[in-house]
Amino acid sequence: MTSATIVTAAMLAIGDELLSGRTKDKNIGHLADMLTMVGIDLREVRIVADEEQAIVEAVNALRSRYDYVFTSGGIGPTHDDITADAISKAFGVECIHDPNAMELLGAMYARRGMEFTDARKRMARMPIGARHIPNPVSTAPGFAIGNVYVMAGVPQVFQAMLDSLLPNLTTGTPVLSRTVRSPYGEGDIGAPLAEVQKNHPDTSIGSYPKFDGRSFSTDIVIRARDAGVLAAAEADVAAMIEAISRSRQST
Amino acid sequence: MTSATIVTAAMLAIGDELLSGRTKDKNIGHLADMLTMVGIDLREVRIVADEEQAIVEAVNALRSRYDYVFTSGGIGPTHDDITADAISKAFGVECIHDPNAMELLGAMYARRGMEFTDARKRMARMPIGARHIPNPVSTAPGFAIGNVYVMAGVPQVFQAMLDSLLPNLTTGTPVLSRTVRSPYGEGDIGAPLAEVQKNHPDTSIGSYPKFDGRSFSTDIVIRARDAGVLAAAEADVAAMIEAISRSRQST
């Protein structure tokens, strides 16, 4: 087996609306998909309210523990957008109207004949020294400081920022996966599947029940960073289901 | 103003599949909706993998900080279902095959002429002394210990468990909300909206941009526990939008 490089990440989704139920988050699942694809392991997600102390605590806990932290939400122009301040506080640096962001936004509003209001100027605020994350959708940039990447909460903007960001990240060996569908519920496959997992320690085998309103079936997902290791485990899972099927037909 | 009772909660969603992107969580949004409705404030959500240490750390951090903790996932019959063990460890108590759950499950499988396998018996495991959370969908109960409520990850089962649980929880004064739709983007309403928020300190006013692919509009959500307080702030937000609209027509 070749040695695998492991790169870890966490996400912090920020916003009262996610906790009140008003907005159903779409960014967590998207980030999870994209990171899995490029070979970064998403290890933890937190959702907190638009409250400075909660954001500071969460971002400091996560950035010390994982290689990357991605945040969503709270970087717009209104009074409840406090993410730039909170991130600055977490890093112990000043939150400023970034000169490059001011120029970028000023030029954009001038082109559109719109007033560059104080509210709009809030979108240029970021910790001093932060790098920009380009925003091809609506100009106002996200920003990165240290290993923390701060993006918008609006899914189209979050996705565009992530797209411009991903090529520049250090990535690891991607986790490959195969899904084997089992017509049997978890109660039937539990014991033999645990045996398969034991015989393939370099894989992670997950079992996901589906309920159609009457009965349970199961998706068995095998994950590994090595294609050969993955294929061997997949074959054993398929053989296991075959064996259950044969034993049922013979009784 | 009448005094409000505040009851807080956190959620811990458990499962590798949520972090790999394979499964898009549906339980967080549902729990948020239901708790808001009954008057419990969801303050924080965490998602962690099926890893004992991660679950123990998260549940201990959350249960000491909030009135209630609700978990989803990891209580099925397969080897990757380790939530019962992790919760027991977090509380420092033994994880046992609960006698009542064994009886319940044994009787159900007997009725259905199915074998009560060792895998299925895993579903009766819970911390010693835990209370059951009834599962009208598929029998295997969730459980509660201290202020932690442990439920299934399959949304239909999670929802049914939550339904049977909610009437027995201590609830607070519900947060009421009104949404005012603004045809203007956040840059236009940012300054006057901050003013309205300042004049209505007992409300929390959130501003949620929507992007239709060409331009931004905004949903302004006003939240308060008192109906009169809410109505006064709503009137001021509506007046603010009227004022912007008039100033635009006159130029």
Please report the domains of chain B, with CATH numbers, ordered by start residue: 8-168 (3.40.980.10), 176-249 (3.30.1370)
> What per-residue confidence (pLDDT) applies to B1?
46
Q: Which of A45, A38, A27 has its CA nearest to residue A156?
A: A27
Nearest to B190 among A22, A49, A78 (CB): A78
CB count, 10 Å around CB of A126? 29
> What per-residue confidence (pLDDT) applies to B86?
98
For the record, the structure tokens of A78 come out as 């209104």
> What per-residue confidence (pLDDT) applies to B210?
84
Whether residue B133 has pLDDT greater than 60: yes
CA distance B85 to B97: 11
Question: pLDDT tens digit string along B163-182?
Answer: 999 999 999 999 999 999 99
DSSP A228: H
Contact check, Cβ <8 Å, B138/A211: yes
Whether residue B3 has pLDDT greater than 90: no
Chain A nearest-CA distance from B16, in A, is 8
CA distance B9 to B175: 14
Question: pLDDT tens digit string along B99-131?
Answer: 999 999 999 999 999 999 999 999 999 999 999
Strands B8-14 and B68-72: parallel
Chain B nearest-CA distance from A60, in A, is 15
CA distance B193 to B185: 12
- Chain B environment of A17 (Cβ under 8 Å): 206, 208, 221
Contact check, Cβ <8 Å, A119/B188: yes
Confidence of residue B209 (pLDDT cuts 50, 70, 90): confident
Confidence of residue B5 (pLDDT cuts 50, 70, 90): very high
> What per-residue confidence (pLDDT) applies to B46?
98
- Identify the residue among B20, B139, B154 best suited for mutation to test binding to A, counting A beta carbons within 10 A and taking the highest: B20
Contact check, Cβ <8 Å, B208/A17: yes
Backbone φ and ψ of B94, nearest 5°: -75, 145
Confirm if B180 and B232 have CB atoms less than 8 A apart.
no
- Chain B environment of A31 (Cβ under 8 Å): 21
> What per-residue confidence (pLDDT) applies to B10?
98
CA B174 to chain CA centroid, Å, is: 15
- Identify the residue among B25, B28, B121 best suited for mutation to test binding to A, counting A beta carbons within 10 A and taking the highest: B28
pLDDT truncated to tens, each residue of chain A (251 aa)?
457 899 999 999 999 999 999 999 999 999 999 999 999 999 999 999 999 999 999 999 999 999 999 999 999 999 999 999 999 999 999 999 999 999 999 999 999 999 999 999 999 999 999 999 999 999 999 999 999 999 999 999 999 999 999 999 999 999 999 999 999 988 889 999 999 999 999 999 999 988 887 888 999 999 999 999 999 999 999 999 999 999 988 75
Contact check, Cβ <8 Å, A189/B78: yes
Q: Which amino acid, B225?
A: R
Q: What is the ipTM of this complex?
A: 0.94
How far the first Cα of chain B sits from its last, in Å, is 41
Averaged pLDDT, B227-233: 97
Strands A95-97 and A131-133: unpaired
CA distance A73 to A150: 8
Contact check, Cβ <8 Å, A206/B17: yes
Task: Identify the bridge partners of residue B217 per DSSP, sorted by sequence position.
Answer: B210
